[in-house]
Structure 1
Amino acid sequence: MTRVALYARYSSEGQREASIEDQFRNCEQYSQRENQWTVIYRYFDKAISGATHHRESYQQMLKDAQAACFDVLLVDDLSRLSRDQVETEMVRRRLVYWGIRLIGVSDGIDTAKRGHKVIANFKGMMNEVFLDDLRDKTRRGMVGQVLKGYHGGGRIFGYRLVPQLHPTQRDPYGQPIRVGTRLEIDEAQARWVKWIFEQYADGMSPVKIVEELNRRNVPPPGIAYRRRSTRSPSWCASALYGNVKYGLGMLNNRLYKGEMVWGRSRWEKDPDTKKKRRFLCDERDWIKHKDENLRIVDDQLWECVKQRQESVHDASLAIREKLHANARTGRGPKYLFSGLLTCGQCGYRFVIIDPSRYGCSGWKYRGLSVCTNTIMASRKLIEKILLESIKHDLFTPERIAVFTREASMLLAKRQHEQNLVQNRQPVRLSQVEQEIENLLAAIKAGIVTPRTKHELEKAEAEREVLIRASELGRQRSEEIASFLPNAVDRFKTLLDDLAGALQVHVDRARGILRVLLGEKILLHPTSNGVERFLTAEISGNYAGLVRLATGKNKFGGGQGS
């Protein structure tokens, strides 16, 4: 029996959820035409662009492919895997190396056939060109809408979106066709826009402004957005001061003075990190026009705000020039517990408030109405106390017993999965050995064709993969067998590694802590009647300890989460 997996994806560009069913049906029909092909896995990602590889089902499919959970992967066409040419080529290479046959049903790509590399690379290039064309066409259409006077962006605080309907044309459901969207001042929000400008011009800082807005329960700009977080949205200072250069932030939005600017910046993806970065476009390409109907603040108030921004900027420059090396701009150093400390009262991160102390970002940047935890603690003191607690209090004999139980369950599961793979490997290895013998016998009998040579090379390559996989399985089994008897000693070794990493590589130490402790350490404001202080709530991540001790973690440090 040949085990078959299906992968389907649709993005949001004019597609619908039924597209997944259509792709699966096409792949299943192909599978039914083959002998003894059985579909055992179905992976799909809904409404996710093929330009990104950060897709949950896509990543799970790759993990299962590496674990040899199936033999053939069917996709409707290669663009379902990725619209990125480099990613498409990398996934094709991975699947071939893992011994997984990749078939694109609609575009005729089959990695078992000779010459598939040329076709796959050509299709990958065409898929990437499709994305470029789609971006250009989308921008062209948006430019056309903006030139007609329609709105070419999303929601803006202070305005409401008003659909513009065609007077005569109807869609298939009999409803008027939407030809564009115009902005209209929302008086309830506009008064707060003007209030923000007035307060800043009078000398109030953005932090104090948002603190007052949150205290008065003024709905923030993102109140109507679709949110994944269950935390109630609130005002943040960065929504006000933004970035003057890119025109970001309420205090820099020229629309409030009746001047629309479109096409100021663009996004480009970094080829190494795959993260998008904003770039400023040539000012000659910006689209500008005046619309007094959209004015909320007058020119005098606008100029007062700009003058104060300039004075604040000049004062900051003067301070930096005097402080020299002690004045930091941009991203600061990565401290040991950065990204792990969380306020137990509001749920926001503890961040570096000044060069030597941690404080709650909810209080610092959103005000007392969001969080009253104003306690700041020395960074060095926090590091010293928490490290001592990890070494002496966290993994006590009682908790080590819990760890041993958790480890036993995790390792037993891993052993079971490994056994399933190992049990299939000898059977397949025997089949491949027989295929090689038959091909050699055919060659000795004088049956030598290009296909014979290709099949022999393919069989020998598969034999090497199976042999290496079998050896790796035995090594993992030995690791599992030797782990539990020495669990406590291994944990102490990890703590020694942590101490060593602190001396030379903070990122690696933070990676160890993240796996040992999980994603957060809660800091609760506490009082004994005389003074206020913070108490830390930490818990051991025993599954993470197993991964560390067996070498299955790469210490993925980083700044925050």
Structure 2
Amino acid sequence: MKRAPIYARFSTELQNERSTADQIALCRAYAVRNGLNIVAVYEDKARSGSSVLGRDGLMNLMEAAQRSMFDAIVVEALDRLSRDMADLAGLHKRLSFLGIEIQAVHDGIADAVLIGIRGLVGQMQREDGAKKVRRGMAGVVRDGRHAGGRAYGYRPVLGRPGELEIVEQEAEVVRRIFAAYAAGRTPRDLAGDLNRDGIAPPRGIRWNGSTINGNAQRGVGLLFNELYVGRIVWNKVRMLKNPDTGKRVSRPNPQDQWQTNEVPHLRIIDDEVWRKAQALKAARMNASSHIKRRPAHLLSGLLRCGVCGSGMSVHDRDKTGKTRIRCSAVRESGSCSNRRIIYLPEIERAVLDGMREQLKAPDLIEAYIRKYNQERRELAAQANSMRTGLEGKRDRTEGELKRTIDLVIRNVIAEEDAKQRISELKTQLSLIEAQLCGLDEPPSTVALHPATVRRYIETVDDLSKALADHATAPDDRGPLTQNFRELVHSVTVHPKPARKGFEIEVKGKLAALIGGAAFPTSRHIGKPAQLGRRYSAAVGHDSGFEMVAGERYRLSPHSSNYRFLLRCCG
């Protein structure tokens, strides 16, 4: 008897919890009829079939398949495995390579044609369902009801879906926020005030500046919520699932796609306060854009806290005028334990010195590119092999289709007898053509551009000289700052115990060093290649500190960045 596990899945928490139990019972009966020995059961509850990511049951099933623990898989229907064409085809390809059949109670043993058809149908049904849901939500908004999630200041009316009522205690907080913002308080300061007063936030345990500030492009955030002036606005964003992570991400819709309806009974803020807050918000956004065009500091927007991952911002200046920074989460929410206040000039000097020393050794970059090109050649060989296989399959299918049609023309076989086979061959041919069209071009290799490395070293050298006296360094450093920021992705500051200094991890854009976007989007695939060198250098500074860089210098053919670690003591 063939060994076989059962896989079952249902999509959402709104479905019956017994759905998987019913699927398993149906699969067991099928196994008895077909002489299969059920050796295990894998299931995913409340997991969408739109992605294989985040489905522990399916991942455990595939791991067991790699260990040859069974010969076939039993499912109620192929859409239980996946409702995405690419994912279903990928699962079938991997299981076929391992010699494992997919047997569906309602479909039988799966082959390439059935996988293609069921994958297409499953994806179309999923997308059609999403369109119907959006159509229903649009109708809800037209009726003057709320189609979104929970809005701070309101609660749903029991027994009347989509209808809201004002929560007066939360409405007072909303009025307080708008009044204080209109008076000139910043979102971060407001978040700190609310946290100190022990006021519960809309979500989580603490207020953050972003909760109040929101996002102008998406029209989300407390300050942008037009429900507070008695107006429902729906369809500001659409949700998409990232195929690499399986996570849902939002994308803003054009304003002409937004749908609005007046609901005066839900008004909390009067028009005058609303207009004043929006005007101030617009003015600050314009100011922010100006700051972004010309950063206040070399590392503005690049600094990250090594404890919580939040940004780091200016805290104050000491008596000599030197800028000091700290984790921004401490100020606005108090949620981070990193209370260290660090001098910005020390971080800038360490970053510049470390990068200059690391990147004066082009052998590191050359080693990276050798490894990267080796990976690219392997990927190119795989792509060419796949294309050759598909082209051969296409030629064989076209040949069989022509022979079948020829037999019909010559009256060797009846047209009715050949109709189903011709349809299957055409479907199979369409799927092969679609796969060929979906293949990427074989990746090409890249070459190191010494001129770019020289330009970079000159840029960092010039910046180091310009920052020798940070307190009096001119703000206008010309294109040097822009060139430097094009090469740096982030600078993470890891605090150490008192008087032990801190560590800095620099993550840079290595593609810029070799001339253009030569690398694919960064993805974690296995362990990155470890390439590195170790050195120590004394850095001129009044208090004296030592820097050791390169101890965590990571270069991976799957990554578009480089990293190195600086240890600063003193």
Distance 1:558 1:13 in 2: 38
2:376 pairs with 1:376: no
Partner of 1:195: 176
Higher deviation after alignment, 11-20 or 191-200 = 11-20
> Residue by residue, what CA displacement relative to the aligned partner does 1:75-118 show, whole Å, maximum 9, x if unpaired?
1111111111111111111100111111111222x14xxxx211
Distance 1:315 1:283 in 2: 23
Distance 2:493 2:69 in 1: 37
Distance 1:379 1:40, change over 3 A: farther
Aligned counterpart for 1:349 among listed residues 291, 309, 314? 309
2:202 pairs with 1:221: yes
**Do 2:338 and 2:495's aligned partners in 1 also have CA atoms closer than 8 Å?**
no
Partner of 2:165: 184
2:107 pairs with 1:140: no
Partner of 1:360: 327
Partner of 1:175: none
- RMSD after superposition: 3.9
Distance 1:549 1:15, change over 3 A: same
2:190 pairs with 1:212: no
Distance 1:239 1:354 in 2: 20
* TM-fit CA distance, 1:147: 1.6
2:11 pairs with 1:45: no
Partner of 1:7: 7
Partner of 1:107: 107
- Amino acid aligned to 2:221: G
Distance 1:318 1:149, change over 3 A: closer
**Do 1:210 and 1:235's aligned partners in 2 also have CA atoms closer than 8 Å?**
yes
Higher deviation after alignment, 213-222 or 137-146 = 137-146
Aligned counterpart for 2:121 among listed residues 126, 130, 143? 126
Q: Which runs of 5+ in 2 are unaligned?
A: 316-322, 353-488, 504-525, 532-554, 562-570
- Amino acid aligned to 1:376: I
Distance 1:323 1:547 in 2: 35
Distance 1:379 1:64 in 2: 49
- Amino acid aligned to 1:150: R
Distance 2:497 2:51 in 1: 41
Distance 1:220 1:14, change over 3 A: closer
Q: Percent identity?
A: 31
Normalised TM-score (structure 2): 0.58
**Do 1:264 and 1:283's aligned partners in 2 also have CA atoms closer than 8 Å?**
yes
Counterparts of 1:457-536 in structure 2, within 5 Å, are 523=495, 526=498
**Do 2:9 and 2:47's aligned partners in 1 also have CA atoms closer than 8 Å?**
yes
* TM-fit CA distance, 1:276: 4.1
- Amino acid aligned to 1:152: A
* TM-fit CA distance, 1:534: 6.3
* TM-fit CA distance, 1:360: 3.2
Partner of 1:84: 84
**Do 1:207 and 1:236's aligned partners in 2 also have CA atoms closer than 8 Å?**
yes
Q: Which runs of 5+ in 1 are unaligned?
A: 166-179, 224-232, 343-347, 385-509, 511-519, 527-531, 537-545
2:11 pairs with 1:16: no
Partner of 1:58: 58
Distance 2:194 2:33 in 1: 65
Distance 1:352 1:328, change over 3 A: closer
Partner of 1:264: 236
2:258 pairs with 1:298: no
**Do 2:298 and 2:348's aligned partners in 1 also have CA atoms closer than 8 Å?**
no
Partner of 2:207: 235
* TM-fit CA distance, 1:525: 6.0
**Do 1:84 and 1:124's aligned partners in 2 also have CA atoms closer than 8 Å?**
yes
> Residue by residue, what CA displacement relative to the aligned partner does 1:294-321 show, whole Å, maximum 9, x if unpaired?
1111111111111211221232333344
**Do 1:6 and 1:42's aligned partners in 2 also have CA atoms closer than 8 Å?**
yes
* TM-fit CA distance, 1:268: 2.9
What SS is found at the alignment partner of 2:145? coil
- Amino acid aligned to 1:268: L
Partner of 1:254: 226
* TM-fit CA distance, 1:548: 8.2
**Do 2:146 and 2:163's aligned partners in 1 also have CA atoms closer than 8 Å?**
yes
Normalised TM-score (structure 1): 0.58
**Do 1:164 and 1:181's aligned partners in 2 also have CA atoms closer than 8 Å?**
no
Distance 1:525 1:550 in 2: 28
Partner of 2:364: none
Distance 1:350 1:558, change over 3 A: farther
Distance 1:380 1:322 in 2: 17
Distance 1:557 1:379 in 2: 25
> Residue by residue, what CA displacement relative to the aligned partner does 1:165-220 show, whole Å, maximum 9, x if unpaired?
5xxxxxxxxxxxxxx23111110000000111111111111111101111111011
Partner of 1:480: none
* TM-fit CA distance, 1:30: 1.6
Aligned length, in residue pairs: 372
> Residue by residue, what CA displacement relative to the aligned partner does 1:59-81 show, whole Å, maximum 9, x if unpaired?
12112212212211111111111
